[in-house]
Homo-oligomer: A and B are copies of this chain.
Amino acid sequence: MKFGGTSVGDVERIARVARIVAAERKPGRGLAVVVSAMSGETDRLVGLARASAGETPNGGGLPAKDFNDEYDVIVSTGEQVTTGLLALALRRLGIPARSWQNWQIPFRTDDAHSKARISEIEESELGASMDAGVVAVIPGFQGVTEDDRITTLGRGGSDTSAVAVAAALKAERCDIYTDVDGVYTTDPRIVPKAQRLEKISYEEMLEMASLGAKVLQTRSVELAFAHCVPVRVLSSFVEPGEPNPGTLVCPEEEIVEKQVVSGVAYSRDEAKVTLLGVEDHPGVAAEIFDALANGNINVDMIVQSEARQEGRQNILFTCPEREAGRAAETIEAIKTKIGVDEIHIRRDVAKVSVIGIGMRSQVGVAKTMFAALAQKGINIEAIATSEIKISVLIDAAYTELAVRALHTAYGLDAA
């Protein structure tokens, strides 16, 4: 079971978490609970660390290599406090419980401080204690290196911690309690008729997560996929005993009724960069995208088309909005060398995607999408596809309209 920062935001909420944990206990079932820092606490600790390192609003301060290890020492205390508080709240309900710090388990990571990756979890002592009926309370988002230094997994790493613990313990399931009650066919704020999915496959969830649905972190879904850990997303604000089915993220084989399209996702954090009049000779695309990769620009869609001028082509690509300026500078620097006439950036674009494992065995899915958008008069600026998704780039002003139209077109609206 995993509870995030708002779920453990104060002592009363921690007491509710204890009641939720209590309701999950049954004979022969061991429980481990992964917790975040109380909401606001991580920000406070990050602020202290930065101030001590001399970071000013204009930059300055220590280089990352001299900062990140002690930053981890400071920031990791937030979750440690929550583990102790939840253990006490559980004991108050008469439930045996204890906190396990990562060095006590040990929960190993590499030494990439502040963004470490999990390497190994030694579960024998932890598992024995759980088998003896003691609820294990574990701090999320952190670990310990081979030479016993404290690390953190980077912001939001708690979901990943929980899945990793579940995988190590070969748990029947990993329940992620959050502030929504499951994964929806699309954003319910845009489409009130959006429906909670009972089940979704790892592959679909990965596309949903990386396409802008913020329910689970991509990293945690990847890990669950790799280790076949069933993950359930459910609400931490439902009183114990009340129905709280959530959404189960599971292997594709366990989903009997495969929807052609399971969900519609969107992202407004997009920019379109257009290169006009690029010289059309072999290797020019490689040069452009090599330069962008070296500049750490996350390029997503790419469309190449013939230009009016002979021997020239146009290249269009998308990247996260905040990287667009850097992308243009990167191209500017090699502009004369590779031969580019003009560079344009457009920021008011959005990406809308339909996702579904059923696409693999269905034809006509794209046709439905294009028809639905055309009917609303929405122009498509670029298209990208994978085995289980189709994404289109459109004018950002039409985002909601497009999402609603697609939700209806694929029969996802609730009755």
Which A residues lie at the B interface, using CB under 8 A? 11, 14-15, 45, 48-49, 51-54, 61-62, 66-67, 69-71, 73-74, 77, 80-81, 83-89, 91-92, 98-99, 101, 103-104, 148-150
**Chain B residues, CB < 8 A from A101:** 73, 150
Q: Which residue of B lies closest to A104 (CB)?
A: B148
Contact of A98 among B53, B69, B85 (CB under 8 A): B69
- Contact flag A71-B91 (CB < 8 Å), given A52-B14, A77-B77, A101-B150: no
Q: In the bound complex, do residue A52 and residue B83 qualify as a contact, i.e. CB atoms below 8 Å apart? A: no
Q: In the bound complex, do residue B52 and residue A89 qualify as a contact, i.e. CB atoms below 8 Å apart? A: yes
**Chain B residues, CB < 8 A from A74:** 80-81, 84-85
New A-B pairs, 10, CB < 8 Å, besides A11-B51, A49-B88, A77-B77: A45-B81, A49-B85, A53-B88, A53-B92, A70-B88, A73-B83, A73-B101, A74-B80, A74-B84, A103-B148
Secondary structure type dominating chain A contacts: helix
Q: Which residue of B lies closest to A61 (CB)?
A: B92
Q: In the bound complex, do residue A62 and residue B77 qualify as a contact, i.e. CB atoms below 8 Å apart? A: no
In angstroms, Cα B61 to Cα A66, docked, is 44
**Chain B residues, CB < 8 A from A98:** 69-70
Contact of A80 among B51, B73, B91 (CB under 8 A): B73
Q: In the bound complex, do residue A88 and residue B52 qualify as a contact, i.e. CB atoms below 8 Å apart? A: yes
In angstroms, Cα B65 to Cα A98, docked, is 13
Q: In the bound complex, do residue B52 and residue A11 qualify as a contact, i.e. CB atoms below 8 Å apart? A: yes
**Chain B residues, CB < 8 A from A87:** 70, 73
Q: Which residue of B lies closest to A47 (CB)?
A: B11
Q: In the bound complex, do residue A80 and residue B77 qualify as a contact, i.e. CB atoms below 8 Å apart? A: yes
Contact of A88 among B14, B67, B92, B148 (CB under 8 A): B67
**Chain B residues, CB < 8 A from A92:** 52-54, 61-62
- Contact flag A84-B99 (CB < 8 Å), given A14-B52, A52-B11, A52-B14: no
In angstroms, Cα B62 to Cα A51, docked, is 38
Q: Which residue of B lies closest to A80 (CB)?
A: B77
Q: In the bound complex, do residue B52 and residue A85 qualify as a contact, i.e. CB atoms below 8 Å apart? A: yes
In angstroms, Cα B51 to Cα A202, docked, is 40
Q: In the bound complex, do residue B104 and residue A48 qualify as a contact, i.e. CB atoms below 8 Å apart? A: no
Q: What is the minimal beta-carbon distance from A71 to any residue of chain B, in angstroms?
A: 7
**Chain B residues, CB < 8 A from A67:** 88, 91
Q: Which residue of B lies closest to A51 (CB)?
A: B11
Contact of A62 among B85, B91, B103 (CB under 8 A): B91
**Chain B residues, CB < 8 A from A81:** 45, 48, 74, 77
Q: Which residue of B lies closest to A67 (CB)?
A: B88
Q: What is the minimal beta-carbon distance from A16 to any residue of chain B, in angstroms?
A: 12
Q: What is the minimal beta-carbon distance from A129 to any residue of chain B, in angstroms?
A: 12
Q: Could you jot down 7 A-B contacts, CB within 8 Å?
A: A48-B85, A49-B88, A53-B89, A66-B91, A73-B84, A73-B87, A103-B104
In angstroms, Cα B103 to Cα A149, docked, is 10
In angstroms, Cα B94 to Cα A53, docked, is 11
Q: Which residue of B lies closest to A149 (CB)?
A: B104
**Chain B residues, CB < 8 A from A85:** 48-49, 52, 70, 74
**Chain B residues, CB < 8 A from A15:** 52
Q: In the bound complex, do residue A84 and residue B49 qualify as a contact, i.e. CB atoms below 8 Å apart? A: yes
Q: What is the minimal beta-carbon distance from A259 to any residue of chain B, in angstroms?
A: 44
- Contact flag A73-B48 (CB < 8 Å), given A62-B91, A88-B67, A92-B62: no
Q: Which 4 A-B pairs have the closest CB atoms?
A: A74-B84, A77-B77, A73-B84, A52-B85
Q: Which residue of B lies closest to A78 (CB)?
A: B77
In angstroms, Cα B15 to Cα A84, docked, is 30
